[in-house]
Amino acid sequence: MSPPSADFGEYSDVLFDSLPGHKVVSGTFSRPVLIVGYHKIVEIPAGATDIRIQESVKTRNYLALRTQSGVSIINGNWAIDRPGLIVAVGTRLTYRRPNEIRSRTGESITAPGPTTEELHLYLIYQQPGPSVYYEYSLPLQDTHTSPEPHTHPAILPLVETVGPTYSGSDDVTNGMGVAINDVRGGRGHPNQVLSDPMVNPDLLAPSYGWISSGHTACSASCGGGLASWDLGEWSECTRTCGPGTQQRQVICRQALRKHGNSTATVIAVETEQCGGYDRPETTSPCQLKICSEWQIRSEWSLCSVPCGVGQSSREVVCVGNQGDVEGDNQCNLGVKPAPLQNCDMGPCAGNWFTSPWSTQCSTECGEGRRSRSAVCLLDHVTNLPLDGCDGPRPQEVISCDAGPCHLHLEWYTGPWGQCSAECGNGTQTRGVACLLHDNGRLEAVDQSNCSHLDQPMSSQSCHLKVCGVQWYATDWSTCSRSCDGGYRVREVCCLADNVTPSELCDLSATPESREDCNTQPCLPETVSSCSDQYYNCVFVVQARLCVYSYYRTACCSSCSVITHTHSSRTTSAGDDFPR
Protein backbone atom coordinates (compact mmCIF):
# COMPACT_ATOMS: atom_id res chain seq x y z
CA MET A 1 0.00 0.00 0.00
CA SER A 2 1.42 3.40 -1.00
CA PRO A 3 1.54 6.37 1.39
CA PRO A 4 -1.66 8.45 1.51
CA SER A 5 -1.70 11.62 -0.53
CA ALA A 6 -2.60 13.83 2.44
CA ASP A 7 0.14 15.92 4.06
CA PHE A 8 0.79 14.48 7.53
CA GLY A 9 3.21 17.24 8.62
CA GLU A 10 6.04 16.32 10.96
CA TYR A 11 4.34 13.31 12.50
CA SER A 12 1.08 11.65 11.44
CA ASP A 13 -0.79 8.44 12.05
CA VAL A 14 -4.02 7.55 10.16
CA LEU A 15 -6.34 4.54 10.06
CA PHE A 16 -7.64 3.26 6.69
CA ASP A 17 -10.05 0.50 5.81
CA SER A 18 -8.32 -2.43 4.15
CA LEU A 19 -9.20 -6.10 3.78
CA PRO A 20 -12.45 -7.25 5.36
CA GLY A 21 -12.01 -7.63 9.06
CA HIS A 22 -8.82 -5.51 9.13
CA LYS A 23 -7.86 -1.90 9.63
CA VAL A 24 -4.69 -0.36 8.14
CA VAL A 25 -2.65 2.03 10.26
CA SER A 26 -0.19 4.25 8.37
CA GLY A 27 1.74 7.44 8.92
CA THR A 28 4.84 9.46 8.15
CA PHE A 29 7.52 10.59 10.59
CA SER A 30 9.65 13.60 9.65
CA ARG A 31 11.84 16.12 11.46
CA PRO A 32 14.25 18.83 10.23
CA VAL A 33 17.02 18.05 12.74
CA LEU A 34 17.48 15.70 15.72
CA ILE A 35 20.17 14.79 18.20
CA VAL A 36 22.54 12.05 17.04
CA GLY A 37 21.29 8.70 18.37
CA TYR A 38 18.23 6.39 18.46
CA HIS A 39 14.76 8.00 18.16
CA LYS A 40 11.54 6.00 18.58
CA ILE A 41 9.10 6.46 15.69
CA VAL A 42 6.17 4.13 16.41
CA GLU A 43 5.04 1.10 18.44
CA ILE A 44 3.51 -1.65 16.27
CA PRO A 45 1.07 -3.82 18.33
CA ALA A 46 1.26 -7.60 18.48
CA GLY A 47 -0.82 -9.34 15.79
CA ALA A 48 0.04 -6.77 13.12
CA THR A 49 0.20 -8.00 9.51
CA ASP A 50 1.38 -6.60 6.20
CA ILE A 51 4.02 -4.47 7.90
CA ARG A 52 5.81 -2.08 5.55
CA ILE A 53 8.34 0.55 6.65
CA GLN A 54 10.07 2.71 4.03
CA GLU A 55 12.44 5.69 4.06
CA SER A 56 10.94 8.35 1.77
CA VAL A 57 14.37 9.46 0.55
CA LYS A 58 17.83 7.89 0.72
CA THR A 59 19.87 9.31 3.64
CA ARG A 60 22.74 8.30 5.92
CA ASN A 61 20.16 7.49 8.61
CA TYR A 62 19.25 3.89 9.51
CA LEU A 63 16.13 2.06 10.65
CA ALA A 64 16.23 -0.02 13.82
CA LEU A 65 13.75 -2.50 15.33
CA ARG A 66 13.40 -4.17 18.72
CA THR A 67 10.72 -5.97 20.72
CA GLN A 68 8.75 -4.50 23.60
CA SER A 69 10.75 -6.75 25.96
CA GLY A 70 13.97 -5.05 24.77
CA VAL A 71 15.41 -7.69 22.39
CA SER A 72 17.15 -6.00 19.43
CA ILE A 73 16.14 -7.35 16.01
CA ILE A 74 17.76 -4.94 13.52
CA ASN A 75 20.67 -2.49 13.97
CA GLY A 76 21.14 -2.63 17.74
CA ASN A 77 24.19 -1.78 19.84
CA TRP A 78 25.20 1.09 17.52
CA ALA A 79 26.12 -1.52 14.88
CA ILE A 80 24.59 -1.76 11.40
CA ASP A 81 23.47 -5.24 10.31
CA ARG A 82 23.64 -6.67 6.82
CA PRO A 83 20.43 -6.59 4.83
CA GLY A 84 18.60 -9.90 4.49
CA LEU A 85 15.93 -12.17 5.96
CA ILE A 86 15.47 -12.19 9.75
CA VAL A 87 13.08 -14.57 11.59
CA ALA A 88 11.67 -13.06 14.80
CA VAL A 89 8.40 -12.46 16.71
CA GLY A 90 6.63 -15.21 14.77
CA THR A 91 7.25 -13.80 11.28
CA ARG A 92 9.93 -13.27 8.65
CA LEU A 93 11.21 -9.71 8.39
CA THR A 94 13.03 -8.57 5.26
CA TYR A 95 15.57 -5.76 5.78
CA ARG A 96 16.67 -4.04 2.57
CA ARG A 97 19.36 -1.43 2.05
CA PRO A 98 19.55 -0.51 -1.67
CA ASN A 99 22.83 0.14 -3.41
CA GLU A 100 24.27 3.39 -2.05
CA ILE A 101 25.49 4.59 -5.45
CA ARG A 102 22.89 3.55 -8.02
CA SER A 103 19.70 3.59 -5.98
CA ARG A 104 17.71 6.61 -4.85
CA THR A 105 15.45 4.59 -2.55
CA GLY A 106 16.00 4.53 1.19
CA GLU A 107 15.98 1.59 3.60
CA SER A 108 12.89 -0.60 4.12
CA ILE A 109 11.58 -3.31 6.46
CA THR A 110 8.68 -5.58 5.48
CA ALA A 111 6.99 -8.53 7.19
CA PRO A 112 3.83 -10.54 6.36
CA GLY A 113 2.96 -11.11 10.06
CA PRO A 114 1.09 -11.70 12.22
CA THR A 115 3.57 -10.70 14.93
CA THR A 116 3.60 -12.35 18.35
CA GLU A 117 5.07 -9.35 20.19
CA GLU A 118 4.80 -5.61 20.08
CA LEU A 119 7.55 -4.06 17.92
CA HIS A 120 9.24 -0.68 18.48
CA LEU A 121 10.50 1.12 15.39
CA TYR A 122 13.51 3.50 15.80
CA LEU A 123 15.47 5.87 13.57
CA ILE A 124 19.28 6.10 14.00
CA TYR A 125 19.73 9.79 13.21
CA GLN A 126 22.87 10.99 11.42
CA GLN A 127 21.66 13.32 8.63
CA PRO A 128 19.11 16.18 8.78
CA GLY A 129 15.69 15.88 7.15
CA PRO A 130 14.67 12.27 7.92
CA SER A 131 11.30 11.03 6.58
CA VAL A 132 9.94 7.52 7.23
CA TYR A 133 6.59 6.10 6.04
CA TYR A 134 5.08 3.09 7.85
CA GLU A 135 1.90 1.03 7.62
CA TYR A 136 0.52 -2.20 9.08
CA SER A 137 -2.84 -4.01 9.40
CA LEU A 138 -4.68 -4.97 12.59
CA PRO A 139 -7.63 -7.38 12.98
CA LEU A 140 -10.88 -5.57 13.71
CA GLN A 141 -11.51 -7.64 16.85
CA ASP A 142 -8.46 -5.95 18.42
CA THR A 143 -9.49 -2.39 17.54
CA HIS A 144 -11.67 -2.01 20.68
CA THR A 145 -8.42 -1.74 22.66
CA SER A 146 -7.09 0.99 20.38
CA PRO A 147 -8.19 4.63 20.69
CA GLU A 148 -9.16 6.85 17.76
CA PRO A 149 -6.52 7.52 15.09
CA HIS A 150 -5.28 10.74 16.62
CA THR A 151 -4.87 9.11 20.06
CA HIS A 152 -3.46 5.80 18.93
CA PRO A 153 -0.78 4.53 21.36
CA ALA A 154 1.67 4.25 18.48
CA ILE A 155 1.67 8.07 18.18
CA LEU A 156 4.19 9.56 20.61
CA PRO A 157 3.91 13.28 21.46
CA LEU A 158 7.70 13.40 21.91
CA VAL A 159 10.50 11.63 20.06
CA GLU A 160 12.17 9.06 22.31
CA THR A 161 15.98 9.42 22.12
CA VAL A 162 18.21 6.53 23.09
CA GLY A 163 21.79 7.67 23.13
CA PRO A 164 23.79 10.70 24.28
CA THR A 165 21.75 13.12 26.43
CA TYR A 166 22.56 16.23 28.41
CA SER A 167 23.80 15.54 31.96
CA GLY A 168 21.74 17.32 34.53
CA SER A 169 19.10 18.50 32.02
CA ASP A 170 15.34 18.64 32.64
CA ASP A 171 14.67 15.58 30.46
CA VAL A 172 12.50 12.84 31.91
CA THR A 173 12.77 9.11 31.34
CA ASN A 174 10.28 6.56 30.18
CA GLY A 175 10.69 4.32 33.19
CA MET A 176 13.29 2.05 31.56
CA GLY A 177 16.30 4.32 31.96
CA VAL A 178 15.79 5.72 28.42
CA ALA A 179 15.78 9.50 28.15
CA ILE A 180 12.82 11.29 26.53
CA ASN A 181 14.19 14.44 24.91
CA ASP A 182 11.86 17.18 23.72
CA VAL A 183 13.26 18.03 20.30
CA ARG A 184 10.26 20.19 19.42
CA GLY A 185 10.92 22.27 22.55
CA GLY A 186 14.35 23.14 21.21
CA ARG A 187 16.42 22.26 24.28
CA GLY A 188 20.04 21.75 23.24
CA HIS A 189 21.78 22.43 19.97
CA PRO A 190 20.62 19.96 17.25
CA ASN A 191 24.16 19.19 16.11
CA GLN A 192 25.67 18.88 19.62
CA VAL A 193 26.93 15.47 20.74
CA LEU A 194 25.95 15.36 24.39
CA SER A 195 28.31 14.50 27.20
CA ASP A 196 26.39 12.05 29.45
CA PRO A 197 25.29 9.02 27.40
CA MET A 198 22.37 6.95 28.71
CA VAL A 199 22.01 3.86 26.57
CA ASN A 200 19.39 1.20 27.25
CA PRO A 201 21.40 -2.02 27.82
CA ASP A 202 18.55 -4.03 26.30
CA LEU A 203 19.58 -2.69 22.86
CA LEU A 204 22.89 -4.55 23.13
CA ALA A 205 21.67 -8.12 22.52
CA PRO A 206 20.53 -8.84 18.95
CA SER A 207 18.58 -12.08 18.40
CA TYR A 208 18.50 -14.06 15.12
CA GLY A 209 17.44 -17.56 14.01
CA TRP A 210 17.39 -19.86 10.98
CA ILE A 211 14.21 -21.25 9.46
CA SER A 212 14.05 -24.17 7.02
CA SER A 213 11.92 -23.68 3.91
CA GLY A 214 12.25 -27.28 2.59
CA HIS A 215 13.68 -28.57 -0.70
CA THR A 216 12.23 -29.05 -4.15
CA ALA A 217 12.74 -32.26 -6.17
CA CYS A 218 16.07 -32.62 -7.97
CA SER A 219 16.02 -31.25 -11.49
CA ALA A 220 17.83 -34.29 -12.90
CA SER A 221 17.34 -38.06 -12.35
CA CYS A 222 21.08 -38.67 -12.64
CA GLY A 223 24.28 -36.72 -12.81
CA GLY A 224 24.43 -33.25 -11.33
CA GLY A 225 21.46 -31.23 -10.16
CA LEU A 226 20.81 -27.51 -10.53
CA ALA A 227 23.64 -25.09 -10.13
CA SER A 228 23.51 -22.75 -7.16
CA TRP A 229 25.26 -19.68 -5.89
CA ASP A 230 28.21 -20.29 -3.56
CA LEU A 231 28.60 -17.33 -1.21
CA GLY A 232 31.93 -16.39 0.38
CA GLU A 233 32.40 -14.65 3.69
CA TRP A 234 31.92 -10.88 3.86
CA SER A 235 35.15 -8.89 4.12
CA GLU A 236 35.78 -6.37 6.86
CA CYS A 237 34.06 -3.00 6.55
CA THR A 238 36.13 -0.45 4.64
CA ARG A 239 35.60 2.14 7.40
CA THR A 240 35.83 1.83 11.16
CA CYS A 241 32.96 4.29 11.57
CA GLY A 242 30.31 5.82 9.38
CA PRO A 243 29.00 4.29 6.13
CA GLY A 244 31.41 1.89 4.44
CA THR A 245 31.30 -1.15 2.18
CA GLN A 246 32.24 -4.82 2.40
CA GLN A 247 32.82 -7.40 -0.34
CA ARG A 248 32.21 -11.11 -0.78
CA GLN A 249 32.80 -13.66 -3.52
CA VAL A 250 29.76 -15.07 -5.35
CA ILE A 251 30.37 -18.09 -7.66
CA CYS A 252 27.91 -20.26 -9.56
CA ARG A 253 28.72 -23.93 -8.71
CA GLN A 254 27.22 -27.32 -9.68
CA ALA A 255 27.57 -30.65 -7.86
CA LEU A 256 28.37 -33.63 -10.17
CA ARG A 257 27.90 -37.16 -8.82
CA LYS A 258 30.47 -39.75 -10.02
CA HIS A 259 29.10 -43.01 -11.52
CA GLY A 260 29.03 -45.80 -8.95
CA ASN A 261 30.27 -43.55 -6.23
CA SER A 262 28.29 -41.48 -3.76
CA THR A 263 30.97 -38.77 -3.63
CA ALA A 264 29.94 -35.57 -5.43
CA THR A 265 32.34 -33.21 -7.16
CA VAL A 266 31.56 -29.48 -7.04
CA ILE A 267 32.71 -27.41 -10.00
CA ALA A 268 32.34 -23.77 -11.01
CA VAL A 269 30.07 -23.22 -14.01
CA GLU A 270 28.94 -20.27 -16.08
CA THR A 271 26.81 -17.74 -14.23
CA GLU A 272 24.00 -18.26 -16.76
CA GLN A 273 23.32 -21.68 -15.20
CA CYS A 274 22.31 -19.90 -12.00
CA GLY A 275 20.21 -17.43 -13.96
CA GLY A 276 16.98 -18.76 -12.50
CA TYR A 277 17.90 -17.16 -9.22
CA ASP A 278 18.75 -13.56 -8.52
CA ARG A 279 22.48 -13.24 -8.11
CA PRO A 280 23.29 -12.30 -4.50
CA GLU A 281 24.96 -8.96 -3.89
CA THR A 282 28.77 -8.96 -3.90
CA THR A 283 28.99 -5.54 -2.29
CA SER A 284 27.06 -4.42 0.76
CA PRO A 285 27.02 -1.20 2.75
CA CYS A 286 28.16 -1.50 6.35
CA GLN A 287 28.70 0.63 9.41
CA LEU A 288 30.49 -0.54 12.55
CA LYS A 289 29.57 2.56 14.54
CA ILE A 290 28.52 6.16 14.13
CA CYS A 291 31.54 8.42 13.59
CA SER A 292 32.73 10.80 16.27
CA GLU A 293 32.08 14.54 15.96
CA TRP A 294 33.85 17.77 16.92
CA GLN A 295 32.43 19.63 19.91
CA ILE A 296 33.17 23.23 20.96
CA ARG A 297 33.19 23.30 24.76
CA SER A 298 34.11 26.90 25.57
CA GLU A 299 33.74 30.45 24.30
CA TRP A 300 36.71 32.37 22.92
CA SER A 301 39.14 33.42 25.66
CA LEU A 302 40.32 36.99 26.25
CA CYS A 303 43.03 38.26 23.93
CA SER A 304 46.55 37.31 25.03
CA VAL A 305 47.79 40.93 24.87
CA PRO A 306 46.30 44.19 26.19
CA CYS A 307 47.20 45.99 22.96
CA GLY A 308 48.43 45.10 19.50
CA VAL A 309 47.81 41.73 17.79
CA GLY A 310 47.52 38.61 19.98
CA GLN A 311 45.59 35.34 20.09
CA SER A 312 42.49 33.96 21.76
CA SER A 313 41.64 30.29 22.20
CA ARG A 314 38.73 27.92 22.83
CA GLU A 315 38.38 24.24 23.73
CA VAL A 316 37.60 21.93 20.81
CA VAL A 317 37.40 18.17 21.52
CA CYS A 318 36.53 15.03 19.58
CA VAL A 319 33.48 13.31 21.15
CA GLY A 320 32.28 9.79 20.38
CA ASN A 321 28.67 8.85 19.71
CA GLN A 322 28.24 7.94 23.38
CA GLY A 323 29.61 11.24 24.67
CA ASP A 324 33.17 10.15 25.54
CA VAL A 325 36.13 12.39 24.65
CA GLU A 326 38.39 10.60 22.15
CA GLY A 327 41.66 11.36 20.38
CA ASP A 328 41.59 13.91 17.56
CA ASN A 329 42.43 11.17 15.04
CA GLN A 330 38.96 9.68 15.62
CA CYS A 331 37.34 12.79 14.08
CA ASN A 332 37.68 14.33 10.63
CA LEU A 333 40.65 16.69 11.01
CA GLY A 334 39.68 18.47 7.80
CA VAL A 335 36.54 19.96 9.41
CA LYS A 336 37.92 20.63 12.90
CA PRO A 337 36.76 24.03 14.19
CA ALA A 338 39.66 26.42 14.72
CA PRO A 339 40.93 26.35 18.35
CA LEU A 340 42.94 29.60 17.88
CA GLN A 341 42.23 32.95 16.27
CA ASN A 342 44.02 36.28 16.02
CA CYS A 343 42.74 39.28 17.95
CA ASP A 344 43.62 42.98 17.51
CA MET A 345 43.41 45.10 20.65
CA GLY A 346 44.44 48.33 18.96
CA PRO A 347 47.78 50.16 18.83
CA CYS A 348 50.08 50.07 21.86
CA ALA A 349 51.19 53.31 23.55
CA GLY A 350 54.57 52.99 25.33
CA ASN A 351 56.43 55.26 27.75
CA TRP A 352 60.11 56.13 28.24
CA PHE A 353 61.69 54.96 31.51
CA THR A 354 65.12 56.21 32.66
CA SER A 355 67.58 55.05 35.35
CA PRO A 356 69.21 57.52 37.81
CA TRP A 357 72.24 59.53 36.66
CA SER A 358 75.64 58.14 37.67
CA THR A 359 76.97 59.86 40.82
CA GLN A 360 80.63 60.07 39.73
CA CYS A 361 82.19 62.00 36.88
CA SER A 362 84.15 59.99 34.35
CA THR A 363 87.41 61.85 35.28
CA GLU A 364 89.10 62.73 38.53
CA CYS A 365 89.69 66.28 37.37
CA GLY A 366 88.72 68.44 34.46
CA GLU A 367 85.70 67.87 32.21
CA GLY A 368 84.09 64.40 32.12
CA ARG A 369 80.77 62.65 31.57
CA ARG A 370 77.87 61.26 33.60
CA SER A 371 75.40 58.72 32.12
CA ARG A 372 72.07 56.92 32.58
CA SER A 373 69.98 54.33 30.62
CA ALA A 374 66.66 54.92 28.77
CA VAL A 375 64.22 52.13 27.76
CA CYS A 376 60.80 52.07 26.09
CA LEU A 377 58.36 50.00 28.19
CA LEU A 378 54.69 49.04 28.09
CA ASP A 379 52.87 48.55 31.43
CA HIS A 380 56.26 48.48 33.19
CA VAL A 381 56.80 44.93 31.84
CA THR A 382 57.02 44.54 28.09
CA ASN A 383 60.04 45.83 26.13
CA LEU A 384 59.15 47.65 22.94
CA PRO A 385 61.38 48.74 20.06
CA LEU A 386 63.09 52.06 20.76
CA ASP A 387 60.84 53.76 18.20
CA GLY A 388 57.66 52.40 19.80
CA CYS A 389 57.36 55.20 22.40
CA ASP A 390 55.84 58.61 21.95
CA GLY A 391 58.18 61.60 21.98
CA PRO A 392 61.99 61.85 21.62
CA ARG A 393 64.37 59.53 23.40
CA PRO A 394 65.61 61.00 26.73
CA GLN A 395 69.22 62.20 26.98
CA GLU A 396 71.56 59.51 28.30
CA VAL A 397 74.92 61.40 28.60
CA ILE A 398 75.68 64.81 30.18
CA SER A 399 78.94 66.62 30.83
CA CYS A 400 80.43 67.16 34.31
CA ASP A 401 83.37 69.16 35.76
CA ALA A 402 85.57 67.41 38.34
CA GLY A 403 87.50 70.58 39.12
CA PRO A 404 90.85 71.93 37.91
CA CYS A 405 93.72 69.52 37.33
CA HIS A 406 96.97 70.57 39.14
CA LEU A 407 100.07 68.39 38.80
CA HIS A 408 97.89 65.39 38.17
CA LEU A 409 99.55 62.26 36.81
CA GLU A 410 97.76 59.64 34.77
CA TRP A 411 98.47 56.97 32.22
CA TYR A 412 97.60 57.70 28.61
CA THR A 413 96.86 54.85 26.20
CA GLY A 414 96.74 55.08 22.44
CA PRO A 415 94.63 52.96 20.11
CA TRP A 416 95.46 49.30 19.58
CA GLY A 417 97.49 48.53 16.50
CA GLN A 418 96.83 45.86 13.89
CA CYS A 419 96.94 42.17 14.76
CA SER A 420 100.23 40.54 13.84
CA ALA A 421 98.45 37.50 12.31
CA GLU A 422 95.74 37.49 9.69
CA CYS A 423 94.39 34.27 11.17
CA GLY A 424 95.04 32.25 14.28
CA ASN A 425 96.78 33.70 17.33
CA GLY A 426 98.57 37.05 16.97
CA THR A 427 99.62 40.09 19.01
CA GLN A 428 98.66 43.76 18.88
CA THR A 429 100.29 46.69 20.71
CA ARG A 430 99.48 50.26 21.71
CA GLY A 431 101.36 53.22 23.05
CA VAL A 432 101.31 53.84 26.80
CA ALA A 433 102.63 57.13 28.26
CA CYS A 434 102.69 58.85 31.65
CA LEU A 435 101.11 62.34 31.37
CA LEU A 436 101.27 65.26 33.77
CA HIS A 437 98.21 67.56 33.90
CA ASP A 438 99.02 71.07 35.04
CA ASN A 439 96.11 73.53 34.71
CA GLY A 440 95.07 72.30 31.29
CA ARG A 441 98.61 71.68 30.06
CA LEU A 442 99.65 68.11 29.27
CA GLU A 443 103.26 66.95 29.42
CA ALA A 444 104.68 63.46 28.83
CA VAL A 445 107.01 62.50 31.65
CA ASP A 446 109.08 59.44 32.48
CA GLN A 447 106.90 56.37 33.12
CA SER A 448 108.48 55.96 36.55
CA ASN A 449 106.46 58.98 37.68
CA CYS A 450 103.26 56.94 37.21
CA SER A 451 104.64 53.81 38.88
CA HIS A 452 102.21 54.26 41.80
CA LEU A 453 99.33 53.85 39.35
CA ASP A 454 98.25 50.62 37.67
CA GLN A 455 99.95 50.63 34.29
CA PRO A 456 97.71 49.66 31.36
CA MET A 457 98.77 46.79 29.11
CA SER A 458 100.81 47.78 26.10
CA SER A 459 100.25 44.48 24.23
CA GLN A 460 97.60 41.80 24.06
CA SER A 461 96.83 38.69 22.11
CA CYS A 462 94.45 38.91 19.18
CA HIS A 463 92.60 36.43 17.04
CA LEU A 464 90.91 37.71 13.89
CA LYS A 465 89.68 34.37 12.56
CA VAL A 466 90.56 30.71 12.48
CA CYS A 467 93.09 29.69 9.89
CA GLY A 468 91.65 26.32 9.03
CA VAL A 469 94.00 23.61 7.82
CA GLN A 470 97.51 24.80 6.92
CA TRP A 471 101.09 23.59 6.42
CA TYR A 472 103.51 23.51 9.37
CA ALA A 473 107.32 22.98 9.09
CA THR A 474 110.34 22.52 11.45
CA ASP A 475 113.58 24.54 11.26
CA TRP A 476 116.18 23.56 8.63
CA SER A 477 118.91 21.12 9.66
CA THR A 478 122.68 21.84 9.38
CA CYS A 479 124.09 21.68 5.83
CA SER A 480 125.61 18.35 4.93
CA ARG A 481 128.82 19.96 3.52
CA SER A 482 130.77 23.15 4.13
CA CYS A 483 131.65 23.63 0.45
CA ASP A 484 131.26 22.15 -3.03
CA GLY A 485 127.44 21.82 -2.54
CA GLY A 486 125.56 20.12 0.25
CA TYR A 487 121.88 20.00 1.35
CA ARG A 488 119.68 20.49 4.41
CA VAL A 489 116.24 19.02 5.37
CA ARG A 490 113.15 19.73 7.52
CA GLU A 491 109.84 18.02 8.39
CA VAL A 492 106.55 19.25 6.86
CA CYS A 493 102.99 18.29 7.95
CA CYS A 494 99.35 19.43 7.42
CA LEU A 495 97.49 20.28 10.65
CA ALA A 496 93.92 21.37 11.44
CA ASP A 497 92.90 24.07 13.99
CA ASN A 498 92.92 21.52 16.81
CA VAL A 499 96.53 20.53 15.88
CA THR A 500 95.50 17.15 14.52
CA PRO A 501 96.81 15.74 11.22
CA SER A 502 94.68 16.56 8.21
CA GLU A 503 94.64 15.77 4.49
CA LEU A 504 92.83 18.93 3.41
CA CYS A 505 95.85 21.19 2.75
CA ASP A 506 96.59 22.42 -0.79
CA LEU A 507 99.14 19.97 -2.15
CA SER A 508 100.33 22.48 -4.72
CA ALA A 509 101.44 24.76 -1.87
CA THR A 510 103.37 22.08 0.03
CA PRO A 511 106.58 23.63 1.51
CA GLU A 512 109.95 22.17 0.41
CA SER A 513 111.38 19.58 2.80
CA ARG A 514 114.94 19.64 1.26
CA GLU A 515 117.14 22.33 -0.33
CA ASP A 516 120.75 22.80 -1.51
CA CYS A 517 123.32 24.65 0.61
CA ASN A 518 127.03 25.67 0.66
CA THR A 519 127.41 25.49 -3.11
CA GLN A 520 130.72 27.48 -3.13
CA PRO A 521 133.83 25.50 -4.29
CA CYS A 522 136.35 24.23 -1.81
CA LEU A 523 139.75 26.21 -1.98
CA PRO A 524 143.02 24.11 -2.12
CA GLU A 525 145.18 24.23 0.98
CA THR A 526 148.95 24.63 0.56
CA VAL A 527 151.41 22.86 2.77
CA SER A 528 154.21 25.21 3.79
CA SER A 529 156.57 22.46 4.95
CA CYS A 530 157.35 21.25 1.40
CA SER A 531 157.65 22.52 -2.14
CA ASP A 532 157.85 21.15 -5.67
CA GLN A 533 161.34 20.51 -7.06
CA TYR A 534 160.20 20.44 -10.71
CA TYR A 535 158.08 22.82 -12.76
CA ASN A 536 156.10 20.01 -14.35
CA CYS A 537 154.73 18.46 -11.12
CA VAL A 538 151.26 19.17 -12.43
CA PHE A 539 151.77 16.40 -14.92
CA VAL A 540 152.80 14.06 -12.07
CA VAL A 541 149.52 14.74 -10.39
CA GLN A 542 147.53 14.21 -13.61
CA ALA A 543 149.36 10.93 -14.21
CA ARG A 544 148.54 9.85 -10.64
CA LEU A 545 152.17 9.20 -9.83
CA CYS A 546 151.95 10.65 -6.31
CA VAL A 547 151.41 7.13 -4.97
CA TYR A 548 155.12 6.53 -5.49
CA SER A 549 157.48 7.90 -2.82
CA TYR A 550 159.92 9.37 -5.32
CA TYR A 551 157.33 11.57 -7.03
CA ARG A 552 155.67 12.37 -3.70
CA THR A 553 158.97 13.80 -2.48
CA ALA A 554 159.96 15.54 -5.73
CA CYS A 555 156.45 17.10 -6.10
CA CYS A 556 155.62 17.40 -2.38
CA SER A 557 153.36 20.48 -2.54
CA SER A 558 151.22 19.30 -5.48
CA CYS A 559 150.85 15.76 -4.13
CA SER A 560 149.88 17.12 -0.64
CA VAL A 561 146.90 19.06 -2.10
CA ILE A 562 145.60 15.96 -3.84
CA THR A 563 145.86 13.91 -0.66
CA HIS A 564 144.02 16.53 1.49
CA THR A 565 141.17 16.88 -1.02
CA HIS A 566 140.71 13.14 -1.22
CA SER A 567 140.59 12.88 2.59
CA SER A 568 137.89 15.61 2.83
CA ARG A 569 135.66 13.88 0.28
CA THR A 570 136.07 10.56 2.10
CA THR A 571 134.92 12.21 5.38
CA SER A 572 131.88 13.86 3.72
CA ALA A 573 130.74 10.56 2.33
CA GLY A 574 130.46 9.25 5.88
CA ASP A 575 127.98 11.94 7.10
CA ASP A 576 124.61 10.84 8.47
CA PHE A 577 122.43 13.00 6.15
CA PRO A 578 120.48 11.08 3.58
CA ARG A 579 120.97 11.79 -0.05
Residues 254-299: pLDDT tens digits? 877 655 555 567 788 888 788 756 778 889 888 877 778 888 989 9
Residues 128 and 161 in one domain: yes
Query: Considering the entire predicted model, what is its pTM?
Result: 0.32
Asked whether residue 2 carries a pLDDT value surpassing 50, the answer given is: no
For residue 444, tell me if it sits in a domain. Answer: no
pLDDT, position 8 = 36
For residue 463, tell me if it sits in a domain. Answer: no
Residues 27 and 165 in one domain: yes
Residues 63 and 115 in one domain: yes
DSSP 287: B
- The DSSP bridge pattern shows strands 382-383 and 374-378 to be antiparallel
Residues 47 and 170 in one domain: yes
For residue 218, tell me if it sits in a domain. Answer: no
For residue 427, tell me if it sits in a domain. Answer: no
Residues 69 and 190 in one domain: yes
Give the side-chain half-sphere CA count within 13 A for 109.
Answer: 31
For residue 426, tell me if it sits in a domain. Answer: no
Pick from 25-34, 528-537, 563-572: least confident: 563-572
DSSP conformation letters of 171-182: -EE-SSS-EE--
- What CATH number is given to the structural domain containing 83? 2.60.120.830
pLDDT, position 340 = 93
Distance CA 317, CA 551 (A): 123
Residues 242 and 273 in one domain: yes
Residues 84 and 188 in one domain: yes
Residues 173 and 33 in one domain: yes
For residue 366, tell me if it sits in a domain. Answer: yes
Distance CA 1, CA 7 (A): 16
Q: Which of 150-154, 159-163, 177-181, 436-440 holds the top average pLDDT? A: 436-440
For residue 9, tell me if it sits in a domain. Answer: no
Domain end call among 306, 328, 344: 344
Specify whether the CB–CB gap between 439 and 406 falls below 8 A: yes
Distance CA 578, CA 233 (A): 92
Residue 495 lies in domain:
470-517
Residues 154 and 195 in one domain: yes
For residue 69, tell me if it sits in a domain. Answer: yes
Residues 528 and 512 in one domain: no
Peptide bond into 114 cis (omega under 30): yes
Domain count, the chain: 6
Q: Which residue has the higher pLDDT, 180 or 200?
A: 200
Domain end call among 379, 401, 423: 401
Q: Which residue has the higher pLDDT, 491 or 224?
A: 491
Residues 32 and 63 in one domain: yes
Residues 175 and 258 in one domain: no
Share of the chain above pLDDT 90, in %: 22
Domain end call among 157, 188, 204: 204
Residues 28-85: pLDDT tens digits? 998 888 888 889 999 999 999 999 999 988 888 889 999 998 899 998 877 788 888 8
Q: Which residue has the higher pLDDT, 383 or 178?
A: 383
